[in-house]
Amino acid sequence: MAIGLAVALALPQARHSRHLPLRQLFRLLLACLVAIPVAYAEAVRLLLRGPRLEGRQEASPVTARGSALLTFLEVFRITLTPLTIALGVERGGRAYRIHRMGRPLPPGEGASGTELP
């Protein structure tokens, strides 16, 4: 995480870039720090239940707007854990497409309106 953050801060900023909202930056940094122990727990879960997990695509709302650093931190938080990876952004830029590994859903049940076709 430190390497990625250092690279993101070292990249030259465009003169027309927006102001970096500190509240949102600290919120995403905290979310990245919380994701580290979650990643370890998911790695153990993957080792123990790996063959019994199934993948599905979901939509996750974009919360970081206006800065490349904030976008990087949000995507980093998603991809840090071994059971999730960001596949891209939906049209309109309002949600990330995420591939998530989890327990198989019972037949006929879908995610609560967030599962993608």
Quote the number of domains for the chain: 1
- pLDDT for residue 22 is more than 70: yes
Tell me if 10 is assigned to some domain. Answer: no
Tell me if 1 is assigned to some domain. Answer: no
Query: What domain range includes position 54?
Result: 21-102
Residues facing 101 on adjacent strands: 55
- Could you tell me the end-to-end alpha-carbon distance of the chain, in angstroms, rounded to an integer? 32
Tell me if 88 is assigned to some domain. Answer: yes
Tell me if 85 is assigned to some domain. Answer: yes
Tell me if 73 is assigned to some domain. Answer: yes
Tell me if 47 is assigned to some domain. Answer: yes
Tell me if 112 is assigned to some domain. Answer: no
pLDDT tens track for 54-108: 888 988 888 877 777 888 888 888 888 888 898 988 888 888 899 988 877 777 6
- pLDDT for residue 52 is more than 90: no
Please give the model's pTM, rounded to 2 decimal places.
0.67
Tell me if 11 is assigned to some domain. Answer: no
pLDDT tier at 14, thresholds 50, 70, 90: low
pLDDT tens track for 27-51: 888 999 999 999 999 899 888 876 7
